[in-house]
Amino acid sequence: MSTIPQLPSEISPDGREIWDWAARLSAQAHRADEIRRLSKQIQNAETQCGSCAYWMTRQCPREQHSNKTGRSTGPSSQSLKCAEFVMTAYQAKELEAAKSKLSKLNAGETP
């Protein structure tokens, strides 16, 4: 990733060079934030229980149902996935889209 854009050496009386520099800096900051956000999204989808087809269902090996209270308790969506993890089709599609967008951003392309 590149560093902060170089400030213009000469500035016209209306200051348009500063505004152009600020626009480049803003675009770079937004790109860096998008890369960070996509990286976190990919990591979460691949490692957390909330992406599983069984999450919050009775088929989930971590869910426990109490007949006394009639309630189920189970892992939060931020728990690490278990050995029986099965990614939902929607999550798999979202994961591939995020990976594609991240690779384009890392290559310097605009997605």
Q: Work out the mean pLDDT of the chain and round it to a whole number.
A: 85
DSSP three-state, residue 9: coil
Can you spell out the DSSP letters for 43-88? HHHHHBGGGBTTTTSTT-TT-EEETTTTEEE---TTSBP-TT--B-
Is the pTM of the predicted complex or chain greater than 0.85? no
The model's pLDDT over 7-53, given as tens digits with 9 standing for 90+, comes to 888 888 888 888 899 999 999 999 999 999 999 999 999 998 888 89
